[in-house]
Structure 1
Amino acid sequence: MPYVLLAAAIAAEVAGTTAMKYSDGFSRLWPSLATVVGYLVAFGLLARTLKSMSVGTAYAIWAGVGTAAVAVIGMAFLGESASTVKLAGVALVIGGVVLLNLGGAH
C-alpha cells in the first residue's frame, strides 16, 4: 500500500509542477490553483506514505521519479530539447531509484 500512495503523491506533484509551467508566474488563476492543489495533495499523500516507509527511501523515489517524469513531459509535450545527454540523465535517475530499492529499502 505505501507504494500506491507514493505513486499517487508523485502523480500529484508532477501534475502540480506541470500546471506551474502554465501558471505564467502565478499570474493565471486556474493553472495557479491546480499547482496549489497538486502540491497539497502530493504532500498529504507523502505524509501518509511516511507512516509505513522509511523517509530516505520514500524521498529518493519521490524526487527521482518526479524529476524524471517532469523531464520527460517537458521533452514530449512542452517543446524542450530531447538530447542524448538529457535522456541518459533520466535513465541514470531511474537507475538510481531502482538500486536504492534493491539495496534493502524494506
Structure 2
Amino acid sequence: MFNTYALLVSAILAEVVATTALARTDGFTRFWPSVVTVAGYVVAFWLLSFVLRVMPTGVVYAIWSGLGVVLVALVAWIWARQALDAPAVIGLCLIVAGVVVINLFSNTVSH
C-alpha cells in the first residue's frame, strides 16, 4: 500500500507543478512553461493510472483533486503572494479534513 500512496503523492506533485506552470504559459504562448505544463499533466495522469489499479476511482480522485487544490493554493500564496482570506483558509482546511476522513474511516480504502 505504501507504493500506491507514493505513486499517488507523486501524481499530486506532478499535477501541482503542471498547474503552477499553467499560470505562466500566457495562453500557451510561452514555450517552456507550456512544456512543463503538458509534461506535468502527462506524468500526473500516467502515475494516477497505476494507483487506479489498486484503489477505487472515486477515492483516488477525491484525494488527488483535494490535495492538489490545497497545494496549488499554498504554492500560489507563497510564490505569487496571492492572498488567502479566512473563508478560503477554512475551505482548504475542510478539504484536508475530508481527505483525512476518507483515508482513516472509509471502508473503500484498504488499510
Aligned to 2:69: 67
One-letter amino acid matched to 1:14: V
Report Cα offsets for 1:40-95 as digits up to 9, x if no partner.
Answer: 00000000111111111111100100011001111111121121111111111000
Aligned to 2:96: 94
Aligned to 2:4: 2
Q: Which sits farther off after the overlay, 26-35 or 77-86?
A: 77-86
Instruction: Give the counterpart of 1:24 among 23, 26, 33.
Output: 26
- Give ranges in structure 2 of 5+ residues lacking alignment: none
TM-score (ref. length: structure 1): 0.96
Q: What is the rounded CA distance, in whole Å, between the counterparts of 2:95 and 2:74 in structure 1? A: 12
The number of equivalent residue pairs is 106
Aligned to 1:58: 60
One-letter amino acid matched to 2:48: L
TM-score (ref. length: structure 2): 0.91
Q: What is the rounded CA distance, in whole Å, between the counterparts of 1:15 and 1:101 in structure 2? A: 24
